[in-house]
A and B are shown apart, each in its own frame.
Chain A
Amino acid sequence: MSKVVDYLRSLGLKELEIRQPRRYMFEVSPDRLRDVISGVIKVSPQTYVSAISGVDYINEGVIEVNYCLWVIEDKVMVVFRVRVPRDSPKVPTIYDLIPGALNSELEAYDLVGVVFEGNDKLRRGFLAPPEIVSQNVFPLRKDFKV
């Protein structure tokens, strides 16, 4: 069994159902995110950020930020799901805890508009072309029409 998953269960986080093998998903509030991720790194230092995936649920008025971490030692993927309001999608940065999260945070900010508070390197135009940036829109949101 995975040490990291045991640790996360001991924190009393809400575990979400996921049928895929070797995947565990937990719902985390933005204010607990940094503590949870610091704890995971302490339990298993060989953990990297596989991706940060932002999904815009426009009908619910929510943006979902999925932090997908691969734990090399335990051979499991833990996904932390953070749901933030669409009009103010703010989550704390984890770039100082895991430097490898930098590019994923820049991408999620540039394309989905998730603000990673505390990340001083956030900028528009990381991937989006200038004509998109000048309109101040986020192309992977559902109200952006092509």
Chain B
Amino acid sequence: MSLIEVPVGPQHPALHEPIMLRVRADGEKVVDVQVVNGYNHRGAEKLGERNTWIKNIFLYSRVCGICNTVHAQTYTQGVEFIGGIEVPPRAQYLRTLIMELERIHSHMLICAVMAEVVGFDSLFMLIMRDREPVMMLKELVTGNRVLSDYYTLGGVRRDVDEVKKDKILKVLERVEERVKYYKKVFLEDFTINKRLRDVGIIKPSDAVRHSLVGPTLRGSGVKSDVRRDDPYAAYGEIPFNVITYDGCDSLSRMLVRLDETLESIEMVRYILKHLPQGPIAPKTPIRVIPKGEAFSRVEAPRGELFYHIVSLGGDKPYRVKVRTPSFHNIINGVIAYKDANIADVPVILTSVDPCVSCTERVLVIDEASGRSKVLRLKDLSRGLR
């Protein structure tokens, strides 16, 4: 049988960034997948070398829309370490609060996308409906529902009061109830189980050897979480469980996220109950940072986010190296596709929570005859019928 190449992309069937998966298949079985990337390299590292320390907080927030506060956290905590800047406890708690709210909506988003990819459109709409109040909470705390720009060197830019606290707790009650229901759906629904269980197997040893991070790693039963192992912000003081599942498949990765969402809701409650009093930011902005370097790590919704920041002193960084979790999970995660069905490619890709975009069509080329046919995303999700 001739090999068929299915280029999925340069926009791909999940979230919003351009990348291409060049899938080679023998009939329905995937032989190998090559990731073609670089369509949208924006040069944020180079630009960061020209910007001032403060301006870069806003630049690096924009590396990723969905997880913008974790980027701001990783950058600012690195700079604060180099500069020896003390962050007040209340600001640390507020930072943790906003990062956990972000984790809740990010995990709900990918669960919704997964529902859509497996063809369960009504579940997609329901999860997205229930995610919206969390976005509103983010707006309530930071002033913006997506790009929050909440951080400043040495603190945060807005405080929460009792009215906001009550509103957050009230909304999360409803969100918790819904997420518990969605977990039940993912566990019990026949179609979801057929599409996700035993699909995209990543063995624990492979997950570590291929440097996979976050829920993708924990879905293979490896207990590794930056929040627990390398605490930052207020994580050292907040009790939570590191969720792992041993299934090593796409379903396990989704269940890790659903359980983490429930954990995050509990963490938000704890934070609001134990929020320390005091200032939230230094009185004067900090502009000059001394010589030094930092290796900054944060547990983003998709896994370990890493920044290497080098300062030679002055008002600008010398070098900022950014390594996002999806950089590992998408490119090194290709091991999960081997021997999968073509129809499972979007499922496996979605299960690693990729930060890349989708288009409405793919091109199928039959290598033997050279014929090509344009397919829409929906056709691909439904198994190239």
Residues in chain A within 8 A of chain B (CB atoms): 18-20, 22-23, 45-51, 53-56, 66, 68, 70, 72, 75, 77, 79, 98-104, 107, 111, 125-129, 139-140, 144, 146
**Can you list 21 A-B contacts (CB < 8 A)?**
A46-B224, A48-B210, A49-B211, A50-B323, A51-B308, A53-B308, A55-B319, A100-B209, A100-B210, A100-B332, A103-B328, A103-B331, A103-B332, A104-B323, A107-B327, A127-B37, A127-B41, A129-B41, A140-B46, A146-B43, A146-B46
A129-B43 Cα distance, complex, nearest whole Å: 10
Query: Which of A20, A46, A56, A127 is the one whose CB lies under 8 Å from B295?
Result: A20
* Shortest CB distance A34–B (Å): 16
A111-B42 Cα distance, complex, nearest whole Å: 12
Query: Given A23-B295, A50-B323, A99 and B41 touching (CB < 8 A)?
Result: no
- Name which residue of chain B comes closest to A72, CB basis: B224
* Shortest CB distance B21–A (Å): 15
Q: Is B321 an interface residue (CB 8 A)?
A: yes
Q: Are A125 and B211 in contact (CB under 8 A)?
A: no
Query: Given A51-B323, A100-B332, A129 and B208 touching (CB < 8 A)?
Result: no
The contact string, 1 if C-beta is below 8 Å from chain A, for chain B 317-352, is 011010100011001100000000000000000000
* Shortest CB distance B68–A (Å): 20
Q: Are B46 and A51 in contact (CB under 8 A)?
A: no
Query: Which of A45, A75, A98 is the one whose CB lies under 8 Å from B211?
Result: A98
A127-B210 Cα distance, complex, nearest whole Å: 20
Q: Is B8 an interface residue (CB 8 A)?
A: no
5 nearest A-B residue pairs (beta carbon): A100-B211, A51-B323, A53-B321, A48-B211, A103-B331
* Shortest CB distance A69–B (Å): 9
- What residues on B are CB-neighbors of A68 within 8 Å? 295, 306, 308
Q: Are B208 and A72 in contact (CB under 8 A)?
A: yes
Q: Are A139 and B328 in contact (CB under 8 A)?
A: no
A46-B206 Cα distance, complex, nearest whole Å: 10
B contact residues, range: 35 or more
* Shortest CB distance B15–A (Å): 19
Q: Are B332 and A102 in contact (CB under 8 A)?
A: yes
Main secondary structure of the interface of A (DSSP, over half): mixed
* Shortest CB distance A129–B (Å): 7
Q: Is B310 an interface residue (CB 8 A)?
A: yes
Q: Are A70 and B81 in contact (CB under 8 A)?
A: no
Q: Is B382 an interface residue (CB 8 A)?
A: no
Q: Are A48 and B208 in contact (CB under 8 A)?
A: yes
- Name which residue of chain B comes closest to A77, CB basis: B295
- What residues on A are CB-neighbors of B45 within 8 Å? 111, 140
Q: Are A98 and B41 in contact (CB under 8 A)?
A: no
Query: Which of B43, B209, B304, B331 is the one whose CB lies under 8 Å from A98?
Result: B209
- What residues on A are CB-neighbors of B41 within 8 Å? 127-129
Q: Is B38 an interface residue (CB 8 A)?
A: yes
Q: Are A55 and B46 in contact (CB under 8 A)?
A: no
Residues in chain B within 8 A of chain A (CB atoms): 37-38, 41, 43, 45-47, 50, 81, 205, 208-213, 222-224, 229-230, 292, 294-295, 297, 304, 306, 308, 310, 318-319, 321, 323, 327-328, 331-332
A-B contact count (CB 8 A): 103
A50-B226 Cα distance, complex, nearest whole Å: 12
Query: Given A51-B306, A127-B37, A99 and B295 touching (CB < 8 A)?
Result: no
Query: Given A68-B295, A127-B41, A140-B45, A99 and B222 touching (CB < 8 A)?
Result: no
A65-B182 Cα distance, complex, nearest whole Å: 45
Query: Which of B81, B209, B310, B321 is the one whose CB lies under 8 Å from A99?
Result: B209
Q: Are B43 and A139 in contact (CB under 8 A)?
A: yes
- What residues on A are CB-neighbors of B43 within 8 Å? 139, 146
Q: Are B306 and A102 in contact (CB under 8 A)?
A: no
A-B contact sample (12 more), CB < 8 A, given A45-B208, A127-B41: A48-B208, A53-B321, A53-B323, A68-B306, A75-B230, A100-B210, A102-B331, A102-B332, A103-B328, A104-B323, A129-B38, A139-B43
- What residues on B are CB-neighbors of A18 within 8 Å? 295
Q: Are B323 and A128 in contact (CB under 8 A)?
A: no
- Name which residue of chain A comes closest to B223, CB basis: A72
* Shortest CB distance B308–A (Å): 4
A129-B41 Cα distance, complex, nearest whole Å: 7
- What residues on A are CB-neighbors of B332 within 8 Å? 99-100, 102-103
A4-B205 Cα distance, complex, nearest whole Å: 18
Which of B38, B327, B331 gathers most chain A CB within 10 Å? B38
Query: Which of A48, A55, A70, A127 is the one whose CB lies under 8 Å from B209?
Result: A48
Q: Are B38 and A126 in contact (CB under 8 A)?
A: yes
Query: Given A126-B38, A129-B38, A146-B46, A66 and B211 touching (CB < 8 A)?
Result: no
- Name which residue of chain B comes closest to A79, CB basis: B295
- What residues on A are CB-neighbors of B328 within 8 Å? 100, 103
Q: Are B38 and A128 in contact (CB under 8 A)?
A: yes
A126-B327 Cα distance, complex, nearest whole Å: 12
